[in-house]
Amino acid sequence: MTAILAIETSCDETAAAIVSSGTTIRSNIVASQIDLHAQYGGVFPEVASRAHAETISAVAGRALDEAEMTCADLDAIAVTQGPGLVGSLLVGINFAKGLALATGLPLLGINHLEGHAYSLWLAPGFSEAEFPILALIVSGGHSELLVMRAHGVYERIGGTIDDAAGEAFDKIGRLLGLPFPGGPNIERAAQSGALDAYSFPRAKTSGNYDFSFSGLKTAVMRAAAIQPSASARSRRERRAARTAQLRADVNINDVAAAFQDAVTDSLSATTCRAAKDFAVNAVYLSGGVSANQMLRNKLASALDVPLCFPPLFLCTDNAAMIGAAAHFRYLAGHRSGLDFEARASWRLSEDVYAD
Ligand code: KG4
Ligand code: ZN
Q: Is 260 in the pocket of ligand 1 (CB under 6 A)?
A: no
**CB contact at 8 A, 106 and 100:** yes
Q: How many CB atoms lie within 10 A of CB 180?
A: 19
Q: So what's the pLDDT on residue 238?
A: 55
User: Which pLDDT value is given to residue 174?
Assistant: 92
Residue 116 C-alpha to ligand 2 middle, in angstroms? 6
Ligand minimally distant from the alpha carbon of residue 288: 1
List, run by run, the mean pLDDT of 10-residue segments along the chain (355 residues): 97 95 97 83 86 96 98 98 96 98 98 98 96 97 96 95 96 93 97 96 87 95 79 59 77 98 97 98 98 98 98 97 98 95 91 77
Q: Is the CB of 115 under 6 A from ligand 1?
A: no
How far, in Å, is the centroid of ligand 1 from the Cα of 136?
Answer: 13
Judge contact between 113 and 136, C-beta under 8 A.
no
User: Which pLDDT does position 237 carry in this prediction?
Assistant: 59
Tell me, using a 6 A CB cutoff, whether residue 310 lines ligand 1.
Answer: no
Choose which residue among 12, 138, 139 to substitute to test ligand 1 binding: the one with the highest number of ligand atoms within 8 A of its C-beta: 139
Model pLDDT, residue 230:
55
Contact 8 CB / ligand 1 (< 6 Å): no
Report the nearest atom of ligand 1 relative to the CA of 164: 12
Question: How high is the pLDDT of residue 35?
Answer: 83
